[in-house]
Amino acid sequence: MATYREMHEIGSDPARVRTLALSLLNLAETAENVFSEWELTFLRSMAEQADATLALSRKQRKQMKDSLLVEEARLALRDFRLTTLQAEKLLEIRDATMLYRDVGGISVRKLINQCHLSRFELHGDDEQFIDQLWRSGVGELRRNDLARLKRCSVQLGELEEYM
């Protein structure tokens, strides 16, 4: 989880926001179903907002302050700042894309293998989920899939609840 300091630093730096948003959008192009539609819209908005701020020179800002167009005047007068909630959401999206290799010192691959042996005791789609992970041979998972694997592992007795 991001600290307040990190949220404040990224929230006031349009170059970092643009770089992070664009890198996450590039990830969305290469991997399937990484982000929801709302998250993609949010990332595009953050990149555009940072681009607009970075594109202005001092001279342009000065000229735009007296503009009759309200949006131009606001852009020129406003210093780039994300709200705490925007910065938190941007960093939360970033954290959700990180790949994890182990859970409490147990490798993800080993945990998948252990769960695959007793997958028939799982309810609903969890059996198919474990089977799909096992067949794919993955050794790293993103946060949402890792949370589901942990839940299944606790259900099967392969992990303790506190892990």
Residue 63: its pLDDT value, please? 67
The one-letter amino acid code at 121 reads E
Residue 55 CA: distances (Å) to CA of 19, 48, 51, 66, 76: 14, 10, 6, 18, 11
Length of the chain: 163
Paired tokens of 31:
């991997």
pLDDT digits (tens, 9 = 90+) for 26-83: 888 877 777 888 999 999 988 888 887 777 676 766 666 665 565 655 555 555 678 8
How much of the chain exceeds pLDDT 70, in percent? 83
CB 103 within 8 A of CB 115: no
Which residue in the block uniquely carries the two structure tokens 């147990």?
106
Antiparallel, parallel or unpaired: β 106-107 and 141-142: unpaired
In SS3 terms, the chain reads as CCCHHHHHHHHCCHHHHHHHHHHHHHHHHHCCCCCCHHHHHHHHHHHHHHHHHHHCCHHHHHHHHCCCCHHHHHHHHCCCCCCHHHHHHHHHHHHHCCEECEECCEEHHHHHHHHHHCHHHCCCCHHHHHHHHHHHCCCCEEHHHHHHHHHHHHHHCCCCCCC
pLDDT digits (tens, 9 = 90+) for 5-24: 888 888 878 888 889 999 99
Confidence of residue 89 (pLDDT cuts 50, 70, 90): very high
Antiparallel, parallel or unpaired: β 102-103 and 99-100: unpaired
pLDDT digits (tens, 9 = 90+) for 130-145: 999 999 988 888 888 8
> The whole model's pTM is what?
0.67
Residue 90: its pLDDT value, please? 92
109 has pLDDT over 90: yes
Give me the chain's average pLDDT, please.
82
